[in-house]
Amino acid sequence: QYANARLSSIQKKAKEKNITRGPLQDAALAKLTLAEELNMLKALASYPEIVESSALDLSPHRIIFFLMDLAGQFHSYYNSHLVISDDPELTQARLWLAEALRIVFHNGLRVVGLSAPESM
C-alpha cells in the first residue's frame, strides 16, 4: 500500500513542477537502462501470468508475494535514483515506469481485497 501511495505522490510532484506525462508512444523508454528499471519492467510484464495462475490455483498469496517483491524493488530504486531528473526524456520514461507500477499495485491490491491509498 505504501508503494502505491508513494507512486501517486511522484505523479503529484511532477504536476506541481508543471511536468506532465506526454503520450506513451512519445516516451523515450530506451532511456530506462538501469538494471533496477529493467528488472521492474520484467516483473510488470509477468503480472498477468501471476494473476492467472493465482486464480487457477486458488492461491491469492502469489499476488501478495509478487507485490511485496515488486515494492521492495521499487523502494530500493526510489531511494537511489531520482524519477524527476534534469533530463526531460529520462523523466518522461521514469514517469511512465512509475505509472505502470502504480497501475499494477492498484490493481493487485484491489484483486486481493485491499485498498490502494493514494496517500498515507
Between 92 and 8, the more confident residue is 92
Local structure of 117: helix, strand or coil = coil
Tell whether 116 is covered by a domain: no
- As for how many domains the chain has, the answer is 1
Of 105, 112, 116, residue with least CA distance to 43:
105
pLDDT(19) > 90:
yes
pLDDT(120) > 60:
no
**At 119, is the pLDDT very low, low, confident or very high (cuts 50, 70, 90)?**
low
Tell whether 12 is covered by a domain: yes
Helix crossing, 61-80 with 88-111: angle to 10°?
A: 160
CATH number, position 51: 1.10.730.10
Q: How far are the Cα atoms of 32, 105, 107 from residue 111, in angstroms, in the given order? A: 28, 10, 6
pTM of structure: 0.90
pLDDT(52) > 90:
yes
pLDDT tens digit sequence for 76-85: 999 999 999 9
Domain membership of residue 97 as a residue range: 2-19+27-111
pLDDT value of residue 4: 75
Tell whether 118 is covered by a domain: no
Tell whether 59 is covered by a domain: yes
